[in-house]
Structure 1
Amino acid sequence: MHTNAKLLGYLGLLPFITIPLLIMTDQLFYFEGFEFFVQYSAIILSFFGGIHWLDALQNRRKNHQLYMAMLPSIVAWLSLIFLSGDTLLSVLSITYIGVLMYDKYVLALERDILIPYTQLRMILTTVVVVTHLFMAYL
């Protein structure tokens, strides 16, 4: 996997890590930080449907994958509108895990891309879910 892709993936974790730390150190009010955190989480979650959109179009699939490409965005948006607190954090976390599992079993990428991509996604998703748990703890 391209080094820049890994770097950008890891840099994408910064808000997930820094927002809870800013709340812990009283640099950011909890409710304001919570809003920033879940909004960022929803945006990043929406991003993960894109690879399925590309895979479905590139491989001319007419199955569920093209529709599933939209699911992270819809879940993220509806969660922000209708949920709050720990329920919102839980739904976002579960969706991250679900999308990762779907990636692992559905993506038809070349092996030299799929394996590093899945490994990177495992690391990123683990950190994201742990930070969601930490926000629930705060």
Structure 2
Amino acid sequence: MSAFAWFGISPFIITLALSVREQSLFGFSGEQIFIIYSVIICCFMAGTLWGQAVYSDNRSRSIIKVVTSNVIALGVFGGLLAGLMDRQMLVLLSICYLITLVVECIHTEPLPAGRVKSYLSMRAIVTLVVFILHCFLYASLRIT
């Protein structure tokens, strides 16, 4: 699972490089592709909360995860549809990644043999890298 998580970061790095070089791909700027990919991944990560809630016996944890999942997915998709500026989308996405991680860390039920700890450690590191890449893109965008 860890390899897939790290592999999933590569489009962020590639599109960040495109943006910094002011290059486009298929008629889209690097930042546009970065943001669209980020919306997809953020919705996917929010969806994992939903998936965890389905298999949970703890009703209160399930409700929190389902509500968070829906709010995040609808929020980032709505931001994209509303045409938020690139910087606004980057802030929204960054916040949503962090919220997803916090909810997952606080409301994940323990599993045997430390599986949750190793998963959450990997998840926290990958989320931090994604957050930093969002900050780099935010800093690289010219104020217009």
In structure 2, the CA distance between the partners of 1:109 and 1:55, relative to structure 1 (3 Å rule), is farther
Letter in 2 for 1:81: L
Q: Which has the higher contact order (CA 8 A, sep 6+)?
A: 1
What is the alpha-carbon distance in structure 1 between the residues aligned to residue 22 and residue 85 of structure 2? 22
Q: Quick check: 106-115 or 33-42, which moved more?
A: 106-115
Give secondary structure in 2 for the equivalent of 1:69: helix
Which runs of no fewer than 5 residues in structure 1 stay unpaired? none
Alignment of 1:47-66 (within 5 A): 47-63=44-60, 64=63, 65-66=65-66
Letter in 1 for 2:43: S
* 13, 20, 36: which one aligns with 1:17: 13
What is the alpha-carbon distance in structure 2 between the residues aligned to residue 92 and residue 26 of structure 1? 22
1:71-96 per-position Cα deviation (integer Å, ceiling 9, x unaligned): 33112201212222211100100110
Structure-1 residue corresponding to 2:3: 7
What is the alpha-carbon distance in structure 2 between the residues aligned to residue 134 and residue 113 of structure 1? 32
Kindly, what percent of the aligned residue pairs are identical?
Answer: 25
TM-score, scaled relative to structure 2? 0.82
Shift of 1:9: 0.1
TM-score, scaled relative to structure 1? 0.85
Structure-2 residue corresponding to 1:74: 74
Instruction: Give the number of aligned pairs.
Output: 133
What is the alpha-carbon distance in structure 1 between the residues aligned to residue 22 and residue 54 of structure 2? 47
Contact 1:48 1:72 in 2 (8 A): no
RMSD: 1.9
Which runs of no fewer than 5 residues in structure 2 stay unpaired? none
